[in-house]
Amino acid sequence: MTKKLVTYSYLGLLLAMLYAPIFIIIIFSFTEAKVLGNWTGFSLKLYTSLFQGGVHHSLTSALWNTLIIGLISAFASTLLGTMAAIGIHNLNPRQQKAVQTANIIPILNPDIITAISLFLLFVSIGISQGYTTVVLAHITFCTPYVVLSVLPRLRRMNPNLYEAALDLGATPLLALRRILLPELKPGMISGFILAFTLSIDDFVVTLFTIGNEGLETLSTYIYADARKGGLTPELRPLSSIIFITVLVLLLVINQRAVKKKL
Amino acid sequence: MQNIANDIITIEHLSHTFGDKTVLKDINLSIGKGEFVTILGPSGCGKTTLMRLIAGFLKASGGKITIDGKEMTHTPPHLRPVNTVFQKYALFPHLNVYNNIAFGLQLKKMPKEEIQKRVMQVLKMVIMTDYEERDVDSLSGGQQQRVAIARAIVNQPEVLLLDEPLAALDLKMRKDMQMEIKAMHKKLGISFVYITHDQEEALTLSDRIVVMREGVIQQIGTPTEIYNEPANSYVADFIGESNILNGIMIKDSLVSFAGHEIECVDKGFAPNEPVEVVIRPEDIYIFELSEAAQFSGQVTSCIFKGVHYEMMVLTPEGFEFMIQDYHQFEVGRTVGLRVKPFDIQVMKKERHLNTFEGIVVDKNHVKFLDQTFKCNEAQKFAVGTKVKVLVEFANVLLHDNEEEGMLSGVVSFILYKGNHYHITVLTQDGDNIFVDTNDIWDDADRIGISIMPEFIKIENI
């Protein structure tokens, strides 16, 4: 009995520590106080001012930039990563090992190294820093993750599926589109989601490749804002909205996975 | 061989290599229109490679494949008039039964009604009507197999390739499917090329059987030819049970084996030529010892096998015979044995000695198989002479421990010769060493090999 109590309270404590910060932000997004921690009564003012044109123009435009960059890089890296995974899968075992190691190095590489290398690369080949460089940088570090999420799907697939399609008269391109891609879809979707969240989440690489043309993503905006002294209170409703959105998305995906199994 | 006009597939001098490993060597084969040909061999014999070359999934390293009168050696698979039933079915998991079967027809841009008609037709043929809406994952192994066959034959190919299609099914199911496949072949009238390692399946189904081993065709023939007149001891051992013994062909129609001279029907051997004798266990008569006996012996084991008894009889000369008979003779009984001349199959011996190419390195050593061996005869030759090295099968020593031998290798084939085992050992470098031994080894055992200096004979090339 006591053992059970101890285990449950340990679990409760752990979860509380994990989720406390985000719950505090959500609670305090419903009050007007400028400083976090002061409760000045329930209010939706922060939410309304977040979406009021003009007032927090730079914050909402940073949000849009983040989402668009995230979508473009997730889309591009899913495409590149899937093609790479198919290529890797068809190499002989020794080559496969070599290429996979090459694929994992960028993942293990500290962000700051990736950031500096990309920065130097863009400078040396003379691409002006801005939207393009951020998107290119994000595609670069997202692609290996897509490869990692598509490869297991390929390995588990019946090796004869592609050949069966050819055998039934499909050209290689048709076999890819009609048989291989539908089979890889779950891996591609999880790769896409992973790439999207990585892109939204990224700060270091973005900071080094964003240039100084006034382009801001959410992470660089918050960083700059914090350095100016104090975070804008509107970040509280924004964080809450992002958290809830992600939560709902996650629940939907899990629900789908459960249904598929049945 | 049939004439070219009636052949749907002709394969000439086909070879294939993976890296530096040759998996198919000079394959020549023709398959007639409407014929049921089985390619039979153990795993790793190259049968699947041969099928993949016919289907077009692999590019041949050499040789020519002609399908339906057109040279197709390098034609991609989607342009060949051939369809395949894969071993693990390879049904498309995201499509239902109907769409799996319709896949090939949809690619041909056939009108919907026509597709519908043909899919229903083949579903009826494989006895799967009412299953068209089902998810393929929800089907049993046997049902998936039927759908795989339906998916292939709906395209009305000239040739249907079947790659061990029944390997994943249980025995009872397999027997039923065999009969269905046979019936289907009759109904469709197209050629079937059937790949299997199951000799019984091959004998049951085929018009002709192609026996393969290590990338080489051993024999092509009808099931009865293969069974009754195996081309060599490998085929005799692989197809059915057999007694294989060393013998000497004294003269036409008289062969000596197991210590006796026995009348046979084979002719055309040199006098006293060493041969191999094959006798099927059901062809030996076993009875109470009497005048009629060619061999006498004692029953050492007797096992009931359902239809017959399988008995081992040991002769006073030390040879063991396997006999299958409806009558039981208890262990310990003295019996007489007799074989009709017609039931003795005499085969040319493939080899009499291990022969290697070697070079004399100094007056005590000779080098062959990439290894330097001590050799008593080396002094008779000048250093650097290229020589032929001969070692008798019985003079090769095998060790349990790989490190104990001068060479290491893997047991790749074991043949029981009545009083000893004839073992083929594959060395690391891919050479074969043949060994006669009384010790029992298992297939795929890793062993050490050594040869005593006095047993290495060398002669000029």
| Domain boundary assignment for chain A | 57-231
Residue whose pair of structure tokens reads 């083949």 in the numeric block: B122
Q: What is the pLDDT of residues A107-129, one digit of tens each?
A: 999 999 999 999 999 999 988 88
Same domain, B103 and B213: yes
Give me the residues of chain B with pLDDT under 50, please. 1-4
What local confidence, expressed as pLDDT, does residue A54 receive?
A: 59
Chain A residues in contact with B87 by the CB 8 A cut-off are 160
Same domain, B262 and B162: no
The chain B residues in contact with chain A (CB within 8 A) are 55-57, 76-78, 82-84, 86-94, 103-104, 107-108, 151-152, 155
Same domain, B329 and B217: no
Same domain, B432 and B387: yes
The CATH number of whichever domain residue B150 belongs to comes to: 3.40.50.300
β-strand partners of B372: B367
Domain end position, chosen among B307, B322, B347: B347
> What are B432-441's contacts with CB under 8 Å, separation 24+?
B433/B354, B433/B369, B433/B396, B433/B407, B433/B409, B434/B351, B434/B354, B434/B393, B434/B396, B435/B393, B435/B394, B435/B396, B435/B398, B436/B392, B436/B393, B436/B394, B436/B396, B437/B394, B437/B398, B439/B398, B441/B398, B441/B411, B441/B414
Confidence of residue A55 (pLDDT cuts 50, 70, 90): low
Nearest-Cα distance to chain A for B83, in Å, is 6
Tokens of B21: 């490993």
Give the CA-trace dihedral at B298, B304, B310, B314, to 10 degrees.
Answer: -20
Contacts (Cβ under 8 Å, ≥6 apart) of A255: none
Chain B residues in contact with A95 by the CB 8 A cut-off are none
Nearest residue of B to residue A186, measured between CA atoms: B94
ipTM of the complex: 0.77
Same domain, B245 and B220: no
Confidence of residue A81 (pLDDT cuts 50, 70, 90): very high
Mean pLDDT of chain A: 88
Is the pLDDT reported for residue A259 higher than 80?
no
β-strand partners of B301: B312
Is the pLDDT reported for residue A47 higher than 60?
yes
What local confidence, expressed as pLDDT, does residue B444 receive?
A: 84
What local confidence, expressed as pLDDT, does residue B371 receive?
A: 87
Which of A161, A163, A169 minimises the CB distance to B57? A163
Which of A161, A169, A174 minimises the CB distance to B90? A161
Among A residues 170-189, those touching chain B with beta carbons less than 8 Å apart: 170-172, 174, 178-179, 182-183
What local confidence, expressed as pLDDT, does residue B64 receive?
A: 93
Q: What percent of chain A has pLDDT over 90?
A: 52
| Least confident stretch, A77-81, A255-259, B57-61, B453-457 | A255-259
Is B107 close to A169, i.e. CB distance below 8 A? yes
Confidence of residue A235 (pLDDT cuts 50, 70, 90): confident
Domain end position, chosen among B347, B375, B398: B347
Contacts (Cβ under 8 Å, ≥6 apart) of B270: B249
Is A183 close to B94, i.e. CB distance below 8 A? yes
Same domain, B104 and B211: yes
What local confidence, expressed as pLDDT, does residue A236 receive?
A: 86
Same domain, B145 and B251: no
User: Of A168, A173, A189, A261, which to mutate for an interface test with B (greatest number of B Cβ within 10 Å)?
Assistant: A168
Same domain, B317 and B429: no
What local confidence, expressed as pLDDT, does residue B169 receive?
A: 84
What local confidence, expressed as pLDDT, does residue A53 receive?
A: 60
Chain A residues in contact with B84 by the CB 8 A cut-off are 163-164, 167
Domain end position, chosen among B308, B331, B347: B347
Nearest by Cα to A236 from A34, A15, A18: A34
Question: How far is C-alpha B187 from the geometric centre of its chain's CA atoms?
Answer: 29
The domain tally of chain B equals: 3
Q: What is the pLDDT of residues A223-233, one digit of tens each?
A: 888 888 777 78
What local confidence, expressed as pLDDT, does residue B280 receive?
A: 93
Contacts (Cβ under 8 Å, ≥6 apart) of A113: none
Which of A164, A168, A182 minimises the CB distance to B107? A168
Which of A160, A169, A172 minimises the CB distance to B88? A160
Chain A residues in contact with B145 by the CB 8 A cut-off are none
- For residues B382 and A80, the model is more confident at A80
Same domain, B259 and B191: no
Nearest by Cα to A136 from A208, A62, A88, A60: A208
Is A169 close to B76, i.e. CB distance below 8 A? no
Contact A33, A39 (CB under 8 A): yes
The CATH number of whichever domain residue B415 belongs to comes to: 2.40.50.140
Nearest residue of B to residue A184, measured between CA atoms: B94
Same domain, B175 and B204: yes
Is the pLDDT reported for residue A260 higher than 70?
no
Provide the domain limits for residue B220: 4-233
Is B90 close to A166, i.e. CB distance below 8 A? no
Is A168 close to B83, i.e. CB distance below 8 A? yes
Nearest by Cα to B222 from B36, B346, B3: B36
What local confidence, expressed as pLDDT, does residue B434 receive?
A: 92
Which of B88, B93, B108 minimises the CB distance to A183? B93
Confidence of residue A150 (pLDDT cuts 50, 70, 90): very high
- Provide the CATH topology of domain A57-231: MetI-like fold (1.10.3720)
